Structure 1
Amino acid sequence: MQVTANDQLSYAATLARCYVQADADAVRDDVTRVLSELSALPPQPGYFTETFCEKARFFHPKNGARVDAMRNRIAALSLPPDVEAVCLVSLMEAADRVDSTTGVQMAYLKQWAARAHNDLSLRMPDVLPGRGEALQLDALDAVQTRDVDVAYLDPPYNQHRYLGNYHIWETLVRWDAPATYGVAQKRVDCRERHTPFNSRKQIHEALRDLIRATRAKHLVVSFSNEGFVTRDELSELLAERGHVAVVATPMKRYVGAQIGQHDPSGKRVGTVSHLHNKEYLFIASPERGAVDSAVAALRAGEYAEGSRDTLHSSVESR
């Protein structure tokens, strides 16, 4: 089985190079050696520390200085692409374990999170044996590069952009010291890099074009009831591919919704409209049996764990 992953953002493409493209047996020794070297480096405050630990408070300065030192060394080593990707993911995940956020990088906590005081520690990522492929293309270009048995599409649902939510990882991977703006010190290109999937006016046409262009026999699409396109609208778009089923699973909303809204002094203000949403998996195929089998597998698997009694699925012939 050959697996290919694609994402246009640099940090996400790097994750794919680590967990899909890299072969554990081929990179393990080199990565182990590099991680040992990185772990022994003394702190070296630089752009990362100044931007994300002093101007903003996403990480404790002691850990920011270590990130600076390690990332500069990775850049200087000119490593093979797969080895570099695994090392970058190790650093990204290490920083994630000592951050001071509620999950996304739109804001940081007013007081340091307890984990932010821990020392940054590199670990070997759980790279799989065997080699896949990672692309970094526009989605519409990527789906036309080859014929595949199954394509899984996970587009943005609404106005929330992954670049803004995880801008620090984009900077950590690119290591381009961009100009920043706002309290969160976002990259200035967060204002410039847009996708039609984040536009209420453009997403319907973008999804239609993507679905039509995908060279796959079976198609699986992830979406949400908080998206700009309704369940029925997306089902109609997918009906061109044959039989369509939808598996809906209730999920807790992002942790920020659980915490609520607060003013600068920390006082809770306003109310949160709802604490749960529905995640949809759409399955489309010319083969009715393939759709039914996929729905049965999802109902029996981890996707439905803890919420099987509230799953809703339907199979439609168009």
Structure 2
Amino acid sequence: MIKYLGSKRLLVPVLGALAEAVEARTAVDLFSGTTRVAQEFKRRGLNTTASDRATYTGVLAGCYIATDARDIDRAHLAGILADLQGTTPARGYVTATFCEQARYFQPKNGMRIDAIRQRIEDEYAGTGWYPILLTSLMEAADRVDSTTGIQMAYLKSWARRSGRDLELRVPALLEGPGEVVVGDVMDTLDTLPAADLYYVDPPYNQHRYYANYHVWETLVRWDEPEHYGVACKRVDVRDEDTRSVFNSKRTMPAALAEVFARIRSEVVIVSYNDEAWITAEDMEDSLREAGHEAVAVLGFDSKRYVGASIGIHSPTGQKVGTVSHLRNTELVFIAGPQEKVEAARAAVGTTMNTRDDTSRNTGDDRRHRVHTV
């Protein structure tokens, strides 16, 4: 998996256990990102749909969710990747933009990326191999990049891994059915299937994944966009239609409440954290207003994003501030029928955490009712 801000790597086993506990057979991962959670659901036998607005997510989901490993000749796939690995390097857009003007990759790997990406486009576009090969290339590039995990900037000195040679590997494909839907959730939600479980992991703040991972968006689209700034971001990052209602503190709460109301699922699981725009109390209220009988809230101690460890710096690279804390609490909300929520709670060994009318009316401090796991 590629490095990703907000990745649920440590929560994946818990989310998988919750899916099994509520006896889900079908699931939708609504803000799928790298598809890590969708993969866990599929691995556990759920017929899974991955949905996101990012083009690179569509590719990752095409590889890991929509592709059934039983339909793939692994020896043939390995042969294709070996052939692509031997492609003669050639200087192109990636080298010029992300190696020379910026420093995301060392030029030797930029030229490999350019040459391999063009061959994938010329020889495999429109085939079932396309998302698998693009995923292999994206993951190979991620293993030799020189960033902290987001592409709003790159390291001042080359990361040690960036000196390695780009290496294509066979992705760890999964058996079973799945689907992928690409588009803004506010536009696609009514077209997504009804499912036993919906998993919702919305953006937490104003930072947009389209900008944070513009290199992957360009690598997948292969459209050689005009760019701006030191980070060589795509010019369309500035366009209004690449912005999401979930990246605005003013519009996000209402948009999320609308999503909850439109979801067609008996059980909804939501990931959030205690630094985000919506409080745990408001999230509970929103889920209950969408018609869910019970809501449990689980808390998981977690390291903050990588930027917190690096510290606060000026544009010239000078350290100018002190980070207040390095850890936060990842919150998992489970909403649905009482018996399903109780089963989910039992699966992770916590005390039931639901609200009733009495607690809602007495103004109790519900922050103390989030159970840390």
TM-score normalised per structure 1: 0.92
CA contact (8 A) 2:88 2:115 kept: yes
Equivalent residue, structure 2, for 1:93: 139
SS of corresponding position for 1:279:
strand
Report the AA paired with residue 98 of structure 2: F
Shift of residue 30, structure 1, vs aligned partner: 4.5
Report the AA paired with residue 114 of structure 2: D
Alignment: residue pair count: 306
Equivalent residue, structure 2, for 1:306: none
Report the RMSD for the aligned CA atoms in angstroms.
1.7
**Residue 273 of structure 2 is aligned to residue 224 of structure 1:** yes
Change (3 A) 1:115 1:87: same
Task: Pick from 283, 287, 295 the counterpart of residue 244 of structure 1.
Answer: 295
Equivalent residue, structure 2, for 1:293: 343
Structure 1 segment 201-216 matched on structure 2, within 5 A: 201-216=250-265
CA contact (8 A) 2:312 2:319 kept: yes
Unaligned runs of 5+ in 2: 1-45, 358-373
User: Deviation digits for residues 178-236 of structure 1, max 9, x if unmatched?
Assistant: 11111111111112211100001100110011000001111111112221111111110
SS of corresponding position for 1:209:
helix
CA contact (8 A) 1:58 1:101 kept: yes
Distance between the aligned counterparts of 1:154 and 1:298, measured in 2?
Answer: 19
**Residue 64 of structure 2 is aligned to residue 19 of structure 1:** yes
Structure 1 segment 65-76 matched on structure 2, within 5 A: 65-76=111-122
Distance between the aligned counterparts of 2:315 and 2:184, measured in 1?
Answer: 38
Equivalent residue, structure 2, for 1:271: 322
* Larger deviation, residues 276-285 vs 58-67: 276-285
CA contact (8 A) 2:47 2:176 kept: no
Equivalent residue, structure 2, for 1:195: 244
SS of corresponding position for 2:47:
coil
Distance between the aligned counterparts of 1:138 and 1:264, measured in 2?
Answer: 33
Task: Pick from 349, 355, 359 the counterpart of residue 316 of structure 1.
Answer: 355
Report the AA paired with residue 18 of structure 1: C
Task: Pick from 40, 47, 51 the counterpart of residue 2 of structure 1.
Answer: 47
Distance between the aligned counterparts of 1:105 and 1:79, measured in 2?
Answer: 26
SS of corresponding position for 1:103:
coil
Structure 1 segment 161-172 matched on structure 2, within 5 A: 161-172=208-219
Unaligned runs of 5+ in 1: 300-310
Distance between the aligned counterparts of 1:210 and 1:12, measured in 2?
Answer: 20
CA contact (8 A) 1:48 1:67 kept: yes
Report the AA paired with residue 160 of structure 1: H
Distance between the aligned counterparts of 1:196 and 1:298, measured in 2?
Answer: 33
Distance between the aligned counterparts of 1:313 and 1:71, measured in 2?
Answer: 50
**Residue 305 of structure 2 is aligned to residue 254 of structure 1:** yes
CA contact (8 A) 1:242 1:317 kept: no
Distance between the aligned counterparts of 1:82 and 1:250, measured in 2?
Answer: 40
Distance between the aligned counterparts of 2:219 and 2:196, measured in 1?
Answer: 34
TM-score normalised per structure 2: 0.78
SS of corresponding position for 2:225:
coil
**Residue 113 of structure 2 is aligned to residue 51 of structure 1:** no
Report the AA paired with residue 270 of structure 1: G
CA contact (8 A) 1:30 1:83 kept: no
Equivalent residue, structure 1, for 2:32: none
User: Deviation digits for residues 135-182 of structure 1, max 9, x if unmatched?
Assistant: 112213433222111111111111011111111001110111111111
Distance between the aligned counterparts of 2:169 and 2:54, measured in 1?
Answer: 23
Distance between the aligned counterparts of 1:313 and 1:250, measured in 2?
Answer: 18
Distance between the aligned counterparts of 1:222 and 1:164, measured in 2?
Answer: 22
Distance between the aligned counterparts of 1:154 and 1:30, measured in 2?
Answer: 36
The share of aligned pairs that are identical, in percent, is: 47
Change (3 A) 1:243 1:17: same
Shift of residue 289, structure 1, vs aligned partner: 1.5
Equivalent residue, structure 2, for 1:304: none
Distance between the aligned counterparts of 1:48 and 1:242, measured in 2?
Answer: 51
Distance between the aligned counterparts of 2:254 and 2:243, measured in 1?
Answer: 15
